[in-house]
Amino acid sequence: MIVYKPILKIKAMSFDLDDTLYDNWPYIVEAEKRLYAYLAKNYAQTDSISKSDWQGFKRSALIEDPQLCSDMGELRKITLTKGLSQAGYQGEALNHAVKDCFDYFYFERSNFKVPKDICEVLEKLSNHLPLVAITNGNVNLEQIGISDFFVKIYKASRQQPMKPDSYMFDAAATYLKIPPAQILHVGDNLKKDVWAATNAGYKSAWFAVNRNMDLSKEKVELLPNVQLTEFSQLLKFI
């Protein structure tokens, strides 16, 4: 552990999920791949729609409604609606297809388990401190095996703007009834986690599972309180 700024008493912890507790990108890539195959098998009218077309539908959805960047689930549904509509699906058939494809993708997107060593640390921490999840993503925590460790889960949405906005951090501190300065946020992103948590008055711990943690290769606006070299080092704050 590298300590940049001292941490005194910690009464709660909050956690980013994607790329902090597990390497997220491979699961997204695989889920996208399976979704395209599912569309081809079950919705043959979409055969003429290329992957670049689907990306175009996503971009146009974000241009039309920039707030969708805070709601990955809603963005996915609107993207599917655009593509399936272009393929000729309408009315109830369209509504059914969008729901079916979204449900399939959401299952596949969450079709993995968080590594055992990470879960063991979360379990030990949860026996001593309240833990909160604060994520810009939409993974199913129950499906990936970690929902029981958290007393509250915050997912970015239209109503809860994505990090680095302070909304979810403020909401978590209010829910916990604990001063932000006594909450340690753990995350991989130096802007959306470290900077955002610090801006909200939290203490911050930098930890990433998807890359080597080399500050010289990161965009750094401010340093975390601590940089973890092992996830289990969080147990020192109990």
- pLDDT exceeding 90 applies to what percent of the chain? 80
Residues 67-116 have pLDDT tens digits of: 888 788 889 999 999 989 888 889 999 999 999 999 999 999 999 999 99
For position 43, which CATH number holds? Answer: 1.20.120.1600
Tally Cβ neighbours within 10 Å of residue 202: 27
Distance CA 185, CA 163 (A): 12
Domain boundary, last residue among 60, 76, 109: 109
pTM of the model: 0.90
Domain residues for 54?
26-109
Say whether both 182 and 195 belong to one domain.
yes
Domain boundary, last residue among 85, 109, 133: 109
Residues 28-39 have pLDDT tens digits of: 999 999 999 999
Say whether both 154 and 170 belong to one domain.
yes
For position 229, which CATH number holds? Answer: 3.40.50.1000
Residues 132-159 have pLDDT tens digits of: 999 999 999 999 999 999 999 999 998 8
Say whether both 102 and 128 belong to one domain.
no
Helix (H, G, I), strand (E, B), or coil: what is residue 64? helix
